[in-house]
Structure 1
């Protein structure tokens, strides 16, 4: 996954409560703490959940076809790429409508495919019930909702990368990029991977507090952000995909996640879920 160097930046062993709180702030309201940690540290189940039982279970599942499929194509290091956020004077050039429809269609297809593949593997093709979503899968911290959300995101990345490479090319999109406020200019900017690694090295995860990380960003030919998407895998599936609010202790307390994306990136952010496809939540 992203930034293999980060694996060496945290000490081995379980997370402390302080580590967990900073991981939660760093990831934003979408991610439960174990899910967020596992995104940054693939395979580090005991470190992220405090559960050696979960680590053992994950070790077994990694040999399964599902876990092998999720691992394909996830270890990708982004090269240096100048990404620009548009303004009122400098809007990005939209994709041609036929291409845009194909791109969104492929994004939805990959999300639904990830949903189905994970449900097929764990629930025989059925969707988990509300009660199952709340159950702790293994250990003491990781619920099925958190585990499934993580795994479905991971299953979607290779599909998305393949589809977007074909339709747009490698330089016209970003998967889970990070953006931050430049303290000198007050403007939002894209955070390169090397900058992120330096921050984590010297400040820990709390150094990333206040940054945002949408799942998919589309760029025009001049690397200007033109579309932003966030993947949601509600558990149970009957729950509506929605933006959450940043809570107590978060840098952007009381902001809706979607409102912050809109403010920071100057585009209308969209949600993508298996049941709802591409959507803008009502009232948000």
Structure 2
């Protein structure tokens, strides 16, 4: 699990050995570094996992959404972009993105699938000795009162995939991609726009995660030379692995209630969004 260990060390800043000793908490030989950090820092998910999304999920489960985020969350929130781009545009009748050449797109998607499968294997190797968890295990509660193994594993597999994806996309499509960017509806124009990291950080600091309600966050967005969105992908890690990847439907209490996730992405970004999963690769799932 070297990717997770590295991510945790670089982004989360786990305690030094002297700090660990002073707390009197020891980690077992099979403790994943983020889990070990959580034993020493109970509840500090954003610090120990490097995942603002996981922190939000856990806060929701605990009913603490809206609480002022820690400095770690603010720092992580500003780092959602995977490339240094000056501006991001959504296509329209007047501004259409220039598609990638077929051979280059094939290479890009092959690398995305490779990273997804690698993340799946690494996390399963650690927790389940390389096997996919059973349907019963997927539904078991792992965190708090509501977060299941399925949700927990899915989030950690996302985090494991990011370094691999950055390396691959930097090589193939440098400075023309974004990892987990966020988009919002401009209240003045009613149009979807990309949310810069500093804007997201300010909203989270001022309003907590509830301030991002109504926004969307695809996992990967590819841009053309002019910064226009031309492809969008969402990573899915079905649990158990035999399940098919599918779009979720926004439920009761969600801003986009009854919308299918893929339909909303397509409406917002003006491109056909694709799912990427370990078993299915890149796919356009059937409507549920």
The TM-score normalised by the length of structure 1 is 0.74
Check conservation: 1:176, 1:214, Cα contact below 8 A: yes
Superposed displacement of residue 201, structure 1: 2.1
Q: Kindly indicate whether residue 138 of structure 2 is the aligned counterpart of residue 147 of structure 1.
A: no
Q: 1:116 aligns with which of 101, 114, 121?
A: 121
* Structural mapping, 1:187-198, within 5 Å: 187-198=191-202
CA distance in 1, matches of 2:238, 2:265: 20
In structure 1, list runs of 5 or more residues that go unmatched: 5-11, 16-33, 51-73
Instruction: Kindly indicate whether the alpha-carbon contact (under 8 Å) linking 1:175 and 1:217 is maintained by their aligned counterparts in 2.
Output: yes
* C-alpha contact 2:176 2:224 (8 A) present in aligned 1: yes
Instruction: Please give the alpha-carbon distance, in whole angstroms, between the structure 2 residues aligned to 1:150 and 1:272.
Output: 15
Deviations 1:35-82 (A, max 9, x none): xx97317789986765xxxxxxxxxxxxxxxxxxxxxxx995645631
Q: CA deviation at 1:142?
A: 3.1
| Matched residue, 2:29 | none
SS in 1 for 2:274: strand
Distance in 1 between residues matched to 2:218 and 2:104, nearest whole Å: 21
Residues 172-205 of structure 1: per-residue CA shift (max 9 Å, x gap): 0000000001111111100001111111222222
1:40 to 38, 49, 52: 52
Q: State the alpha-carbon separation in 2 of the partners of residues 280 and 117 from structure 1.
A: 26
Distance 1:144 1:210, change over 3 A: same
TM-score, scaled relative to structure 2:
0.73
Question: Is the counterpart of residue 251 in structure 1 residue 263 in structure 2?
Answer: no
Change in Cα spacing, 1:277 to 1:248, as seen in structure 2 (3 Å) is same
In the alignment, structure 1 residue 271 sits paired with structure 2 residue 283:
no
Aligned positions, number: 232
Aligned to 1:94: 99
Are the equivalent residues in 2 in contact too, given 1:271–1:279 (CA < 8 A)? yes
Mind listing any 5+ residue stretches in structure 2 that lack a counterpart?
1-6, 12-40, 63-76
Give the alignment of 1:209-248 within 5 angstroms: 209-248=213-252
State the match for 1:205 in structure 2.
209
1:136 Cα deviation after fit: 2.0
- SS of 2:92's partner is coil
Among candidates 178, 182, 203, match of residue 178 of structure 1: 182
Q: Which has the higher contact order (CA 8 A, sep 6+)?
A: 1
- Give runs of ≥4 in structure 1 deviating > 4 Å: 12-15, 41-50, 74-80
C-alpha distance in 2 between matches for 1:282 and 1:210: 24
Instruction: Check conservation: 2:80, 2:180, Cα contact below 8 A.
Output: no
Q: Specify whether residues 114 and 83 from structure 1 end up closer, same or farther in structure 2 by C-alpha distance, changes over 3 A only.
A: same
* Mean CA deviation greater in 175-184 or 77-86: 77-86
Partner-residue secondary structure (3-state), 1:160: helix
